[in-house]
Amino acid sequence: MIAVTGRRRVVWAPTLASPDWTLTLLALALSVTGLLLVWSATRLGGDYALLVRQAVAVGIGLVLMWFVSRCDLRVLRAYVPVAYVLALISLAAVLSPLGVRVNGAHSWIVLAPGVQFQPSEFAKVALALAFAVPLGELRDGQRRPGFGGVVLALMLAAVPIGLIALQPDLGTMLVFAAMVTGALLVSGAPKRWLLVLVVGAAGAAVAAWKLGLVRPYQLERLLVLANPAADPGGVGYNAAQARIAIGSGGLTGKGLFNGEQTAGHFVPEQHTDFIFTVAGEELGFAGAAAIVLAMGALLWRGLSIARHSASPYGTVLAGGLVSWMAFQTFLNVGMTVGLMPIVGVPLPFVSYGGSATVAGLLAIGLLQAVHRTKAMQP
Amino acid sequence: MSKARLFVLRLVVVAMVATLLGRLWFLQVVSGAQYVQAAADVRIRTVPVPPVRGQILDVAGRPLVTNRTRPVVTVDAVALAHQPDAGRAVLERLGGVLKQPYQQIAEKVRLCGPEVPQPCWQGSPYEPIPVAEDVTPPVALQISERQQDFPGVRTELRPVRVYPLGSAAAHTLGYVQGAKGRDGLEGVYDRELAGRPGRRDVAVDNTGQVTRTLRQDPPVPGNTLVTSIDSRIQSLTEQALGRAVASSGAESGAAVVMESGTGRLVALAGLPAYDPAVWTDGVTAREYKRLPLLSQPVQGEWAPGSTWKVSSVAAAAAAGYGLGAFYDCPSGYMVGNRVFRNFGSADLGIMTMHGALVESCDTIFYRLADELWERGSQTMEKTARGFGFGKPTGVDLPGEAAGAVPDAASKKAYWQATRKESCRRAVKGYPEMADRGRAAYLTAIAKENCRGGGVWRGGDAANFSIGQGGVLVTPLQLARAYAAIANGGTLHSPRVGQKIVRPDGTTVRAITPPVAGKLPASAETLRFIRNALSQVPRKGTAEGAFKGFPFGKVAVAGKTGTAESFGRRDTSWFASFAPDPAYTVVVVLSEGGRGAEGAAPAARDIWEGIIELTEERTVRPESGSTRDHPTQERR
């Protein structure tokens, strides 16, 4: 037995393949860039607390990333129900008196003074993990998820999305929807389900409009996208100031810490959702394009991991994670350059925000886990 | 299965990256320059730094207008316009603190435009508009501490104009509104007095707070205007005029004191007047309408009456009449079919032109004018123009009136222009007029003018010769004509400004009254006229007014004038000059009665005041030279 076990791998103590160093380095580079930009955006307050907090968040995120990346996917799988239920509980808690209202939405929970987190960021990770279970764990001989699997998956997704709609947080809802769509796409689910998703989304939008669930400010944001000059002092202010900051950066930018628009705090929420404007102004087209390209490369690696995953579960999980980050990046950068409406989502790895930073690095850890988990030996 | 689908996701990622890169290229590289400008517009504010306006000094360096810093409450019109109710609530609150009605503040801060009448803000909408000056510290504190209640309202220290002599020479000095000189010397010499505003480019943050100064361009203070006004003579002239207007019941009046030899103005007084301090706090619409803004010495026009005869005597000499020859001065003279009477129908007997001036005989001039008219001679009119009448003197004060020297051509033109109206009135009469007698008289004239007219007749010439019949002069015109008689015939374009001095005391330029012409009279004629005029206050028409005057000290010569004005009381004139001090003094009282009774005593008052000042100077040697040298400044 001993001799035999010496030659064969033990299932419950698997060895892992080497990590995808490119992926880790890209995530690290984006996080460090994010720290520099947050520093630039907040330094004139004379207060380094935000920079320190973000650095701590990056540190925690890296530790968690390292930890998760060393776990076999099958081991992690055991904790998915726990993570999912915890995510639902915390999402429900923000709606309770425990939640804190910021900018009109309940999205924070304060654990202790100065320590708060945004459950919806962690819910992204939990949903990616949970969604992949019915779609990725196929019975023998099954090559794609069946009807029951897809319905279960959509039900798993509907609960957290519904809770976020109650906050309400339109941006995060859209990110969840993109993640669900992406995961469903790579799972190989029949095309009609994708059609159902599109029709369902359109129906939900119409219903929300008809029932008056769309708030006036959300509508205004959409209108301002069409014509940003309509109201430069009000809703369009963010959009106009963001575009001015980015546009004035030119080809090579004004240099890190030299952005005058940044120093004057003309772009609201600049260190969080509008961090990309700091890059646009201070680093110019060269720097902004480098960030977009780095993000693109990171997503490309993620899709490669999905493609080469040892299990359908890994493929669906990686597909969901990549879809989440891809859509969130496009939404965030798109709103700062006037391609998308102003919806509050952070730029992954770069924006200030502890929960989002930790969740992003956790997602990289999960991608590494998918990458490193080898096929079960027969 | 999922391989193809993963490829779709890859395409999506590539498309996303390409879209964002394309958009960034467009924003940053293609339209980058435009956003650089937009960024500067957002970030940089240019704040004008007002310069200190130059002072206006009198001949001895005494300030007529100077500056003082006072706490001023200003309103930013642009910030107000951004308020939901266009700032009404803010101004109402401000009115409560400043104890001014809302309407009054609103008038001060509204921007002038074609539809907006005075008062209104004439400066840039981007500069702060003062609404109250010299506010008390508690008021200033209340406003600066409650900024949330007063957006766009600020308190700052600002130089404001102060007038040490109160209402003295108000019309001459003019006023300042929104850093711009309006009217008077402030208007004419605005460029020199204003200085150049500096500017400060400041970087601001999103709340409009100044973060740092990018560029500073300090203001250049305005230059000082030294005038030839002697504030002491100005004061005594105004006092004399005030007494004369009060005692004669005149509706308005003016007095001019001029240096005969140079054309420099020493005093200009006009009534009614006002206190220029009203401008510093801003003027309301009601106040503005009631302000007597007309400067009587340069903008008032009256028939000159007998003061005009100096021109007629010169015309007689030019036409070949002997000045020393004897002429009859009967009580009346027939011109055409009408008898023109002497003043009071007095028969003054035989006299020379000397007597005609001293006793102010009219009939000699009627006959003279009638004879010249019959000859078709225009010597009278030409001579009057040569004396500088009928056109502005070119004084360095705004809005000067031209006066009027009527002649055949102007009468015809006037008749043609008014004929239609005359014919209408000839038929309709004047039903709106309460005075039936006057209405009938005017209707008769209208009938005559409708039938025909516009012909310069002997009667017109006769009236012209004694300064009536449409002849109009300004006090300033008369003063410079008499100054020319006194100085040997040189007509100056009068000046109040004497020199422009930099704040460091160096001279920018001296202002010399330019020579505008020579009187059309020989030196002999002028000597004859001077000689005659010297007798007027001693034993002529002004004898009563000058009884007991110290002619030994100052040999004042002059001429009375009493001009009839239809339907109103007479205009009272006295024009005078002396060899030393070589001043010309002219006084007019509108509806002031006879020249000898209203204006002549006022002129005597002024002369006595001048004598007193000269004696003071002689007694007190420490005040320097005994002669009143115009360029001398007290340091």
| Domain boundaries defined on chain A | 18-372
Distance CA B509, CA B496 (A): 14
Q: Does B38 score more than 80 pLDDT?
A: yes
Residue of chain B whose Cα is closest to the Cα of A334: B20
Structure tokens at A278: 């700091």
| Position A43 confidence tier, pLDDT thresholds 50, 70, 90 | confident
What is the rounded average pLDDT of the residues B520-534?
A: 94
Structure confidence at residue A228 (pLDDT): 53
Structure confidence at residue A133 (pLDDT): 92
What residue type is assigned to position A169 of the chain?
D
* pLDDT single digits (tens) B410-424: 888 888 888 888 888
Interface of B with A (CB under 8 A): 1-3, 5-6, 8-10, 12-14, 16-17, 19-21, 23-25, 27-29, 31-36, 38-39, 42-43, 82, 203-206, 211
Q: Does B506 score more than 80 pLDDT?
A: yes
Q: Does B462 score more than 80 pLDDT?
A: yes
- The answer to whether the beta carbons of residues B614 and B628 sit under 8 Å apart is yes
Structure confidence at residue B302 (pLDDT): 93
Structure confidence at residue A4 (pLDDT): 42
Residue from A103, A168, A344, A101 nearest A239 by CA: A344
Query: How many residues make up chain A in this entry?
Result: 378
Structure confidence at residue B627 (pLDDT): 44
Show Cβ contacts of residue B469 under 8 Å, excluding neighbours closer than 6 positions: B406, B459, B460, B462, B463
What is the rounded average pLDDT of the residues A69-88?
A: 92
Cβ within 8 Å, pair B205-A264: yes
Residue of chain B whose Cα is closest to the Cα of A262: B205
Chain A residues within an 8 Å CB radius of B8: 185
Cα radius of gyration (chain B): 33
Based on DSSP, count helices (H) and strands (E) in chain B, helices before strands.
22, 23
Structure tokens at A247: 């546009």
B364 or B79, which is more confident: B364
Average pLDDT, chain A: 85
* pLDDT single digits (tens) B186-245: 999 999 998 888 887 777 766 556 667 777 888 899 999 999 999 999 999 999 999 999
Structure confidence at residue B635 (pLDDT): 37
Structure confidence at residue B5 (pLDDT): 87
Q: Does B41 score more than 60 pLDDT?
A: yes
Q: Residue A29: how many CB atoms within 10 A of its CB?
A: 16
What is the rounded average pLDDT of the residues B127-149?
A: 80
Q: Does A115 score more than 80 pLDDT?
A: no
Cβ within 8 Å, pair B27-A241: no
To 5 degrees, how large is the angle CA B139–CA B140–CA B145? Answer: 100
Long-range contact list for B87-91, CB < 8 A, 24+ apart? B87/B152, B90/B149, B90/B150, B90/B151, B90/B152, B90/B153
Distance from CA of A207 to the nearest CA of B (A): 28
Cβ within 8 Å, pair A186-B2: yes
Structure confidence at residue A219 (pLDDT): 65
**DSSP, residue by residue, A35-87:** HHHHHHHHGGGT--HHHHHHHHHHHHHHHHHHHHHTS-HHHHHTTHHHHHHHH
Q: Does B1 score more than 50 pLDDT?
A: no
The class level of CATH for B305-465 reads alpha beta
* pLDDT single digits (tens) A4-25: 444 444 444 457 888 999 999 9
| Position A107 confidence tier, pLDDT thresholds 50, 70, 90 | confident
Strand partners, B264: B495
Percent of chain B with pLDDT over 90: 48
DSSP A101: E
Distance CA B176, CA B174 (A): 7
DSSP B47: E
Superfamily classification of domain B231-299+475-623? DD-peptidase/beta-lactamase superfamily (3.40.710.10)
Q: Which candidate from A266, A296, A338 shows the least CB-CB separation from B206?
A: A266
Distance from the Cα of residue A344 to its chain's centroid: 12
Contacts with B, A 260-299, CB within 8 Å: 260-261, 263-266, 268, 280, 284-285, 288-289, 292-293, 295-296, 299
Residue of chain B whose Cα is closest to the Cα of A244: B35
B137 or B356, which is more confident: B356
Distance from the Cα of residue B170 to its chain's centroid: 9
Burial annotation B139-162 (CB, 10 A radius, 16+ → b, else e):
bbebbeeeeeebebbbbeebbbbe
* pLDDT single digits (tens) B559-588: 999 998 777 889 999 999 999 899 999 999
Structure confidence at residue B623 (pLDDT): 44
Strand partners, B196: B220
The residue behind tokens 């000699």 is B364
CA distances from A125 to A136, A372, B456 (A): 16, 18, 110
Cβ within 8 Å, pair B38-A244: yes
A43 touches chain B (CB under 8 A): no
What is the rounded average pLDDT of the residues A332-344?
A: 88
Chain B residues within an 8 Å CB radius of A283: none
Distance CA A354, CA A58 (A): 8
| Position A226 confidence tier, pLDDT thresholds 50, 70, 90 | low
B434 or B83, which is more confident: B434
Chain B residues within an 8 Å CB radius of A241: 42
What is the rounded average pLDDT of the residues B517-529?
A: 94
Cβ within 8 Å, pair A247-B206: no
Structure confidence at residue A239 (pLDDT): 82
Distance from the first to the final alpha carbon of chain B: 104
Structure confidence at residue A11 (pLDDT): 42
* pLDDT single digits (tens) A282-303: 999 999 999 999 999 999 999 9
Distance CA B240, CA B609 (A): 9
Mutate to test the interface with B, among A197, A292, A304 (most CBs of B within 10 A): A292
Structure confidence at residue A234 (pLDDT): 56
B217 or B496, which is more confident: B496
Cβ within 8 Å, pair A296-B17: yes
Show Cβ contacts of residue B98 under 8 Å, excluding neighbours closer than 6 positions: B73, B105, B131, B132, B135, B139
What is the rounded average pLDDT of the residues B292-298?
A: 89
B297 or B568, which is more confident: B297
What is the rounded average pLDDT of the residues A124-138?
A: 92
Cα radius of gyration (chain A): 21
Distance CA B150, CA B157 (A): 18
Q: Does B287 score more than 90 pLDDT?
A: no
Mutate to test the interface with B, among A180, A231, A276, A285 (most CBs of B within 10 A): A285
Q: Which candidate from B21, B33, B35 shows the least CB-CB separation from A289?
A: B21
Strand partners, B225: B56, B500
CA distances from B66 to B146, B154, B250, B615 (A): 33, 24, 33, 29
What residue type is assigned to position A106 of the chain?
H
Q: Does A378 score more than 50 pLDDT?
A: no
What is the rounded average pLDDT of the residues A134-143?
A: 82
Chain A residues within an 8 Å CB radius of B19: 330, 334, 339
Percent of chain A with pLDDT over 90: 50
Q: Does B130 score more than 50 pLDDT?
A: yes
Percent of chain A with pLDDT over 70: 87
* pLDDT single digits (tens) B310-339: 999 999 999 999 999 999 999 999 988 889
Percent of chain B with pLDDT over 70: 94
Q: Which of A218-222, A304-308, B121-125 has the highest mean pLDDT?
A: A304-308
Structure confidence at residue A358 (pLDDT): 96
The residue behind tokens 């720290």 is A35
Show Cβ contacts of residue B452 under 8 Å, excluding neighbours closer than 6 positions: none
What residue type is assigned to position B251 of the chain?
E
* pLDDT single digits (tens) A227-273: 555 555 455 678 888 888 999 999 999 999 888 888 777 888 888 89
Distance from CA of A253 to the nearest CA of B (A): 9
Give the domain ranges of chain B: 69-161, 231-299+475-623, 305-465
B179: left (phi over 0), alpha (psi -120 to 50) or beta: left
